[in-house]
Structure 1
Amino acid sequence: MNKAVNSSGLGLFRATGIYVGAILGSGVLVLPAIAAQVAGPASILAWGLLLVFCTPVAFSFAEMSRQQPDAGGIATFVTRAFGHRASAVAGYLFYFAIPFGAPATAVIGGEYIAHAMGGGRETALIAAGLILAAGFLSNAVGIRVSSKLQLLLMALLVALLAFAVVVAGPYARVENFEPFAPHGYWAVGGAASLLFFCFAGWEAVTHLAGEFRNPERDLKRATWLTLVVVGVVYIGLVAACVAVLGPALAGSSVPVAELLAKGLGPAAAPVTAVAAAVLTFGPLNTFVAGASKLGARLASDGVLPRALARGAGPGEVPSVSLGVLGMLASISFALAATGLLSMEFQIGAASACFTAVTAFGLAAGVVLLRRGTPAWYGVIVAAVVMLVVLVFSGWALLVPAGLGVAALAAWRVRGKPATSHGSFPASPQPSRELAARNGRPS
């Protein structure tokens, strides 16, 4: 277990800013309305259930990162549990999901900004392009600088969303919670399936664990703080939307904007635009940071071309890996802007890849975590749920399947990774200490 302290690394609050930025995303701008369509006011229960569900996921990833803080993240976990070939697949799935997911995330934020400012498609694309560029440029200056920016932005975001709830408070009505479950309580499950990706992002931070000043101490603390912040923001904001907007919530395409408009009137537009920009930038910044680090680590271990390996160490900027991701994301964004690639395809492809990566990580957790503990049982349940969600990805499964084939082909061409350059363990088998903790003979 690596217990070294990185004196120049991320402290607890900057690390928490990275975590919160990975989870709080642009989905919260639209999903309260979509969930209300499915389950009515009872959709609040779906948000709460997912918060409970993601807790074992968050802590299992934090514990595995604590055991070996490394830029490989989930790929490292998978190596320790299942070997190098499986980790090559997991690494490819995360790295190459970014060119699909980053442009789609930026476009969602851009469209919300355009609506708030009264602009059209051109305004939305310009805003999306600026957000996308900001996500890559902030990482070009290094995680130390971008983490400070993200901490400030996350503090601003939480303040803005709290402000939205407060100014709309006088318009809240208890009767808007009735009937509480107009479509029955089974509909809460359907709403939860739609809301899942508002709670994804824990896998992205695993690639940044090596950047923490004291991962042994701060990984779990940052996880707790993030769960509290995310829980309060999500539940508070959704409850306010139901209480203030009532039946109109289900038909709204911009519920947060309407919530602000209740209390601020015309002044709500710029506040909404800022909130949308920050909500979009946060996860984009974190996912790009994690993926670029992962790309450099995979290259240093021979799974990607060696040219991408520059900047794999803690505190270094993975410039070549970041540049490749930026180029691929720019091409994907251009194809979407010209109508040659749909946003639905981008979202579906990225979601299927991230779901598969999360399932990989949870399966590794079943092997690596101490057997019989609540965390171990929680990971088993979460892994089963992830596999079910993955099966229902439909046509989008072709993307992770294709990337898996490409990863195995690259492995075959390049041979066994040169682990002396990287941090993946030479043996895919768990250590004697780990075997003993799990109750297995070493």
Structure 2
Amino acid sequence: MTTETSSRVQPHIGLGQGVALYTCAILGAGVLVLPGQVATLAGPASLIAWLISALLGIPLAFTFARLASRFPDAGGVASYAERAFGPVAGATAGWWYFIAVAVGQTIVPLTAGYYLAAALSLPPFAAPVFGLVILALAVAAALADVAIGARVQMGLAIGVAMILVTVVIVSLGQFDPAAFAPFAPAGIAGVGQAVVVLFFAFAGWEAIAHLSAEFRDVRTTLPRATLLTVLIVTVLYLSVATAVVGTGTYGGAAVDRISLGLIVETGWGIAAAAVVAVAAVVICTGTTLAFAQSVSRLGFSLAQRGWAPRSLAVLDRRGVPAVSLLTVTGIGAAGLIGCAVFGWGAEDLVFIPAVLVLATYLIGTAAAMRTFTGRARLVAVLAFSLLLIAVPFAGWHLLVPVGLFAVVAVGLRVRGLRGRRLPTRRLQMRRARRLGSQGDPQAE
């Protein structure tokens, strides 16, 4: 989206719609599998990790909203990083997010596979097989350019919220106060690792920023929408996390992967757990499709800027970036095959996208610190400082964003592109006409 385009957009988003859009961006399929995993990492103290992650969204959301309103561009964080630090930083930020979502294309379908395999009493091997089927359906729909409209996305978010509310209600009869002791068996390290993992659940604070120009009275409406969304998301996530801890439904991979389904099964029986499994499949399929469509266009944008192979900029006859789409989903499929062959689980993979999202947020807030002054800069400094606290707990997983940075930097230098934008079809035609009017020197 260019500045000229955004200036023609008529502001139409009010407070209610803004909260709905923001909530849709945050609530995702990750919450179906992460409550048990982070409880295993940190024990009952994982509730602190959920609270920290939710509150961190306040300065992050305001920082990205300010960036988007000042520099409206579909490239998002990659564009902000390029503007502040140059093309290598922009390309790195783009690739960090591209790989994060690509690995998410393994985790999200796999999550649905866990619930479906458990409902059908099938062995763990069946989960990645179901995941591959879900991913294939999403790819087919994306290649056919099946649109995921705002109402469908909102419906998926409402579906997640309904599952969370159901789990909380059912868990009330299973609560055991003794389950909260010892409170922090893994100490601060466990809480820190849980915060890092939860970046996968809370990714999305930057998504609504691209719509900032469409808010009515943006200076009043956007802050209120942000605060209300933080409140809603915090209550939902903390409630379901408390349900998992209070019922003791965690402690191992087999339980963590389907902890919400097990709570419902214990309270209402197997049939209810099957309903949760069906809902999980629908939600994860929709999320997988939305991810495939959005990140394939990011790959297209990276290729147009000269930050990725030109093949990713190839469009099919429907205008779908098919090569980029197949690249993203191919990475997801490779992960699912690895899960089937090597026994990997979501708990083994989730640190990769979580750390990459953390790195993306760091470079985005750093760009804001360099760009803004006054109060906006102070908010960006706060967000950046809070993000830095989580960095040491990522451990060796930090090698992932560092390694990607090295690959991108070397790749751009070897190819000699240095972020040069590829010429568009219109620019190519102008150049051709110019050469035609001046005569071809080689022909002479």
Offset at residue 26 of structure 1 (A): 4.2
How far apart are the structure 2 equivalents of 1:35 and 1:345?
12
Aligned residue for 1:259?
263
- Structure 1 residues 300-353: Cα deviation after superposition (integer angstroms, max 9, x where no partner): 3232344544679xx975444324433443345445444498867754543443
Aligned residue for 2:210?
209
Offset at residue 295 of structure 1 (A): 1.8
With structure 2 as the length reference, what TM-score do the two structures score?
0.76
Give the 3 Å change call, closer, same or farther, for CA 413–33 of structure 1 in structure 2.
closer
Secondary structure of 1:361 counterpart = helix
Q: Does 1:114 align with 2:117?
A: yes
Aligned residue for 2:302?
298
Aligned residue for 1:360?
363
What amino acid does structure 2 have at the position aligned with 1:209? Answer: H
Aligned residue for 2:27?
24
Offset at residue 273 of structure 1 (A): 0.7
Question: Contact 1:39–1:184 at 8 Å: present in 2 too?
Answer: yes
Offset at residue 282 of structure 1 (A): 5.7
Secondary structure of 2:115 counterpart = helix
**What are the equivalent positions in structure 2 for 1:76-155 lying under 5 Å apart?**
76-140=79-143, 145-155=148-158
User: Which deviates more, 322-331 or 214-223?
Assistant: 214-223
How far apart are the structure 2 equivalents of 1:185 and 1:361?
30
% of aligned pairs identical?
A: 26
Give the 3 Å change call, closer, same or farther, for CA 8–55 of structure 1 in structure 2.
closer
What amino acid does structure 2 have at the position aligned with 1:74? Answer: V
How far apart are the structure 1 equivalents of 2:366 and 2:314?
30
User: Which deviates more, 42-51 or 330-339?
Assistant: 330-339
**What are the equivalent positions in structure 2 for 1:245-324 lying under 5 Å apart?**
245-246=247-248, 249-250=250-251, 252-253=255-256, 254-278=258-282, 280-281=284-285, 283-309=287-313, 317-324=320-327
* Alignment RMSD (CA, Å): 4.1
Give the 3 Å change call, closer, same or farther, for CA 271–17 of structure 1 in structure 2.
farther
Of residues 65, 68, 81, the one that matches 2:68 is: 65
- For structure 2, the residue ranges without an aligned partner over 5 or more in a row are 427-444
How far apart are the structure 2 equivalents of 1:225 and 1:289?
28
How far apart are the structure 2 equivalents of 1:33 and 1:347?
13
Offset at residue 393 of structure 1 (A): 1.5
Question: Contact 2:14–2:216 at 8 Å: present in 1 too?
Answer: no
Offset at residue 76 of structure 1 (A): 0.7
Aligned residue for 1:230?
233
- For structure 1, the residue ranges without an aligned partner over 5 or more in a row are 423-442
- Structure 1 residues 89-146: Cα deviation after superposition (integer angstroms, max 9, x where no partner): 2222222444333123322331232123312245313321233234445544658534
User: Which deviates more, 330-339 or 119-128?
Assistant: 330-339
Question: Contact 2:305–2:419 at 8 Å: present in 1 too?
Answer: no
Q: Does 1:380 align with 2:384?
A: yes
Give the 3 Å change call, closer, same or farther, for CA 416–281 of structure 1 in structure 2.
same
Secondary structure of 2:198 counterpart = helix
Offset at residue 357 of structure 1 (A): 2.1
How far apart are the structure 1 equivalents of 2:180 and 2:334?
48
Aligned residue for 1:179?
181
- Structure 1 residues 3-41: Cα deviation after superposition (integer angstroms, max 9, x where no partner): 535469999878766654553344433433344345443
Aligned residue pairs, count:
416
Secondary structure of 1:145 counterpart = coil
Give the 3 Å change call, closer, same or farther, for CA 5–64 of structure 1 in structure 2.
same
- Structure 1 residues 184-237: Cα deviation after superposition (integer angstroms, max 9, x where no partner): 87466346435433444126727x926985598486666445423321211111
How far apart are the structure 2 equivalents of 1:190 and 1:75?
27
